Structure 1
Amino acid sequence: MVDLSKVKVNLVVSFPTKKKKASTTVTRVCKYCGKEFQVPSWYGAGKYCSKACEAADKRVIHTPNITCEVCGKELYMPPSRIKRTKHHTCSRECRAKLQSILYSGDKNPNYGNRAERCKMVNNGRLYYKVHLDSHPFGRKTTGSIGVYYPEHKLVIEQNYERFDSKYFVEIDGKHYLKPDVDVHHLNENSTDNRIENLIPLTRSEHTHLHNKQKEIIRDELGKNNWCRKTR
């Protein structure tokens, strides 16, 4: 007898496959360059031999209607833009050259108008900043000599001996507020920078102080809905 356990049987199962139909091609003429090209019959109504020809055919060529005031180059500009602009240039380089001519020296409306004390807005509140020759934490402004620094912080620094030294850092023998230290206005008037109205606080101390002045309004499920100031 034959031991069937030692007999190896290889089964090959084949399934009928559909024969692919040979795709037919059609010859067409490019609408832009006139070149003949072939595409499959299922391709659809192809009009162009390449994307470059399609883009070139659909490109709109405008007749120049304006001249650059700097280099004299002729260019097209939408009439609406011509109407709303006083001067017309062909590029950023020409615009920069024109501005350097039109707004140089006393022709600039801000010529000699450097403000020693001006307003600034931070988080929706109005403050004052002052112009200083230098400050390690001041903000440099474009085209300006020196820096601008918040006035309320400067007043605190000028009276540093009144407050805890943890709020300050000493640089070259002078005391400056640390960058992460806030200044709180006791009467809530952010433009009142009298020393009696100012105290330095860390960011967490400042946030905690303002949160104590708010009441949390909750909905029926006890979720925080909104806050309102109590005083």
Structure 2
Amino acid sequence: MKRYRYFRSKYHYCSIECHANHKKITFRGENNHQYGLRGPMNSSFKNSSLKKHNNHLVDDWIYVGEWYRGGIHGRVKIYRYLVEQNHNLYDEALFEIIDGWYYLKSKIEVHHIDFNHNNNDISNLLPLTKSEHVRLHNQYRNQQ
């Protein structure tokens, strides 16, 4: 550790490893200044939209905050979110209603009608069960 660090800190460490171990213990849980801050309030938050690779496809994820299926980071696939926001266009049996909000059931997948995974226009999205989705893609594959 550099000499000036000894004078700036109220603690004195014998090595960089001791300093790192002390920080691990001291800044754990509620002692961390970022503890409990999610989304834009957290200093490590990068962007409201994010691209994740899914095999040969790229999924767009957006930050939706305290959405119940948003995962640990509060993000959800944009096409699922768009279908949920436009729930009145689809059969109500595909959705769960929780606290007045419509959520797609976990077993429902969203199909892109034109097979362009990046075209997230609401007229291009169709919610299907897993078996219906697989059947549709198999029919398309057999036609080619």
Give the TM-score normalised by the residue count of structure 2: 0.70
Q: Could you tell me the percent identity over the aligned residues?
A: 28
The corresponding residue for 1:93 is 21
Verify: 1:148 aligned to 2:75, yes or no.
Answer: yes
**Counterpart-to-counterpart distance in 2, 1:129 and 1:122:** 12
Q: How far 1:89 moved relative to its partner?
A: 2.6
Contiguous gaps of at least 5 residues in structure 1: 1-68, 74-87, 142-146, 216-228
Verify: 1:185 aligned to 2:127, yes or no.
Answer: no
Call closer, same or farther: CA 1:138–1:177 in 2, change over 3 Å: same
The corresponding residue for 1:118 is 50
* Matched residue count: 124
- Aligned-residue RMSD, C-alpha: 3.2
The residue type equivalent to 1:93 in the other structure is: N
Call closer, same or farther: CA 1:92–1:160 in 2, change over 3 Å: same
Q: How far 1:96 moved relative to its partner?
A: 3.5
Of 71, 77, 81, which aligns to 2:13? 71
Q: How far 1:196 moved relative to its partner?
A: 1.0
The residue type equivalent to 1:126 in the other structure is: V
Give the TM-score normalised by the residue count of structure 1: 0.46
Taking CA–CA contacts closer than 8 Å with sequence separation of 6 or more, which of the two structures ends up with the larger relative contact order? 2
The corresponding residue for 2:38 is none
Q: How far 1:94 moved relative to its partner?
A: 5.0
Call closer, same or farther: CA 1:138–1:113 in 2, change over 3 Å: closer
**Counterpart-to-counterpart distance in 2, 1:180 and 1:91:** 48
Q: How far 1:90 moved relative to its partner?
A: 6.1
Native 8 Å contact 2:64 2:76 kept in 1? yes
The corresponding residue for 1:158 is 85
**Counterpart-to-counterpart distance in 2, 1:133 and 1:171:** 16
The corresponding residue for 1:18 is none
The corresponding residue for 2:136 is 209
Q: How far 1:174 moved relative to its partner?
A: 1.7
Native 8 Å contact 1:89 1:95 kept in 2? no
Verify: 1:134 aligned to 2:66, yes or no.
Answer: yes
Kindly indicate which of the two structures has a greater share of residues assigned to helix: 2
